[in-house]
Amino acid sequence: MKEKIKTEEEVHTNPLLSMPVIKDSELKEYLVEYVGTKFDKEEVTVNMIAEILAVEFPEFVYAFAEENFLRGYQLGLDDVNRLSTNQATNVDGTTE
């Protein structure tokens, strides 16, 4: 079986961003209508909403991105600490 090699663009593409938004809440309905009007489109995707928020409400996007970055950074630090703890454990179960 031949392995498919992904391009860099494919690796950094999130399929969730291209999904159409289903208007199942009042906020989603408002966002879809607003963004649909701005883009002059009937079908609105998550990416389209993110683009409008970035332009018209950058404070929210910055705060959201910063929180996401910090959580990811903390997760990485936790992984490093766990790895170094595991490596310090000898085969007999004692630590150095």
How far is Cα 77 from Cα 72, in angstroms, rounded to an integer?
Answer: 9
pLDDT at position 11 is 65
DSSP letter (8 states) at residue 10: H
How far, in Å, CA of 96 to CA of 88, rounded? 6
For the segment 42-89, what is each residue's pLDDT rounded down to a tens digit? 999 999 999 999 999 999 999 988 988 888 888 888 888 888 777 766
Give the pLDDT score at 34: 97
Q: How high is the pLDDT of residue 89?
A: 66
- Model pTM score: 0.65
Please say whether the beta carbons of 59 and 66 come within 8 A.
Answer: no
- Residue 77 has a pLDDT of 84
The β-bridge partners of 20 are 45
Q: How many residues can be counted in the chain?
A: 96
Q: pLDDT at position 93, please?
A: 60
